[in-house]
Structure 1
């Protein structure tokens, strides 16, 4: 798979930024602690807002940082995602990409909120959109429920093979992993949230830990149109393997690059 010059340039910049981050982590521990808190709050809020979940602004910080008791379902979802984020930050070095890991992320984010947290879907969940006349159109049909367990097994195996045997560029392998997860859509709900957690976990495995200090979820939310455009462009032909991953890959590494630019700006002040 040949990478476009723009993607090659971005990968080079990301490698440089990863090295700079290691230097800043040694020099600016106090600043980075403050950035971690901000990223946790922003990431939790943005990931939930993308899915239409909001809480009163004054409740956000206590729920995320101070163990405030949730008052309703929306607040429970805030606490759930914050807990899942903390888990990724704390455990990424010891967690591999396996089907059970995906179930764990889903359960952490949604346990006690939906009855099937941590379980594969049992009914089809088509991705629909409203046409200009207000009618629902099916934009994408994910993998059928009966095929989800084997599809997720194949996904995790393909990811490992792409790294260990095919020696694919790690960030391309991660982008494919997250994209295929979204196309499989293995859970009844909460797939977007798990995809964002999976993104963090996977890039952390390859040393790109900027998401600890700059919220990738916030950047995704701020560029939602680009997210959906890339997803739609790359999903055409996915079921028969004729799709083009490059629109999604370019979006994916551009998001990571934006996070590093923000991090370097904060650290350089």
Structure 2
């Protein structure tokens, strides 16, 4: 609510660096329709990988980790059978939350939607999700020595529903007015949602999942093909630091949103750059077999699996990768170790 009380004052003057990155984002957005028309197979492949990365990364940020990657993938695919641990249950819950935003018509944006996302997040556990907090909460850091430091104080439980409803109403109005850049409005909505902290647990995951939905709703769909959650996990310290800096004095309507908005805009711009690189590589005249050969000889680790090449070269089939690996084997460049899915490949020692 606080961020949307006076948008002209708060974000009327956009820092030059943020302006430049917003231009990069809008340029990237302009290419989405072209890529969707020209590179449907690549986008399908990227979407599948981004989904897996997002579910695993957003969960891991909260300490929810399934150590076995193959087991995690089966959970995400819905093929794991009985979920054995709380972490597996929560991973499956985030899968449901993210899939709902990407695959269903979830609009309109209201309190009921936010409650439903929370309910989905906990739907595989014994907890009863979908309810706002009933007790005041604090966001704290716990040091290894047991010291507890309060990072910020969320909105009191008694005011949570009214603050949340007001935030979503103001956000909808601001997007409809189209006076300020829609990406800045999405970033502010996420910031306010996290300060309101409407739930006893699961606030970060609900906010990150909803970020994807709001971006797609605003016409910025790169989060379908490049995992923002993975980018956040890779820069977790900066993520938390910028959020903390932009929550100072929020309750007094004196917060500085630009540390957080600068990070948010840069993360999104970087995602578009990644998307453009992968699209350009797929559209280039390079033969796919040549791309596999170049990657294996110059970029892959000395010992690698076929799956590693698949991840590095989305849009290249396993059949093509195997063909090149067999060719390099016959040339004495690679040597196989093991068979089946566990098979690994080792480059000749004379190669870098």
Q: TM-score, normalization: structure 1?
A: 0.95
Is the CA contact 2:187–2:264 (under 8 Å) kept in the aligned structure 1? yes
Map 1:248-267; keep pairs closer than 5 Å.
248-267=260-279
**Which residue is 1:3 aligned to?**
14
**Which residue is 1:126 aligned to?**
138
What per-residue deviation string (whole Å, max 9, x for no partner) do you get for residues 182-207 of structure 1? 00000010000000011001111111
Q: Highest relative contact order (Cα 8 Å, sep 6+), 1 or 2?
A: 1
Map 1:58-207; keep pairs closer than 5 Å.
58-69=70-81, 70-92=83-105, 94-130=106-142, 134-165=146-177, 167-207=179-219
Task: Report the Cα offset of residue 245 of structure 1.
Answer: 0.7
What per-residue deviation string (whole Å, max 9, x for no partner) do you get for residues 50-83 of structure 1? 0001012120111112432222211111111112
Distance in 2 (CA, whole Å) between partners of 1:28 and 1:150 is: 45
Task: Report the Cα offset of residue 139 of structure 1.
Answer: 1.6
Distance in 2 (CA, whole Å) between partners of 1:33 and 1:113 is: 31
Distance in 1 (CA, whole Å) between partners of 2:108 and 2:19 is: 27
Task: Report the Cα offset of residue 248 of structure 1.
Answer: 0.9
Unaligned runs of 5+ in 1: none
What per-residue deviation string (whole Å, max 9, x for no partner) do you get for residues 172-228 of structure 1? 111110000000000010000000011001111111111111111000000111101
Is the CA contact 2:90–2:124 (under 8 Å) kept in the aligned structure 1? no
Larger Rg: 2
Distance in 1 (CA, whole Å) between partners of 2:127 and 2:194 is: 21
- CA, structure 1 residues 131+85, in 2 after alignment: closer, same or farther (shift >3 Å)? closer
Task: Report the Cα offset of residue 36 of structure 1.
Answer: 1.1
9-18 or 159-168, which deviates more: 159-168
What per-residue deviation string (whole Å, max 9, x for no partner) do you get for residues 71-117 of structure 1? 2211111111112111111125x512211111111111112425330
What per-residue deviation string (whole Å, max 9, x for no partner) do you get for residues 140-192 of structure 1? 11011111110101111111222234722211111110000000000010000
**Which residue is 2:284 aligned to?**
none
1:240 aligns with 2:248: no
Unaligned runs of 5+ in 2: 1-11, 282-352
Q: TM-score, normalization: structure 2?
A: 0.73
- CA, structure 1 residues 190+171, in 2 after alignment: closer, same or farther (shift >3 Å)? same
Distance in 1 (CA, whole Å) between partners of 2:145 and 2:130 is: 37
1:16 aligns with 2:30: no
Distance in 2 (CA, whole Å) between partners of 1:232 and 1:132 is: 20
Task: Report the Cα offset of residue 24 of structure 1.
Answer: 0.9
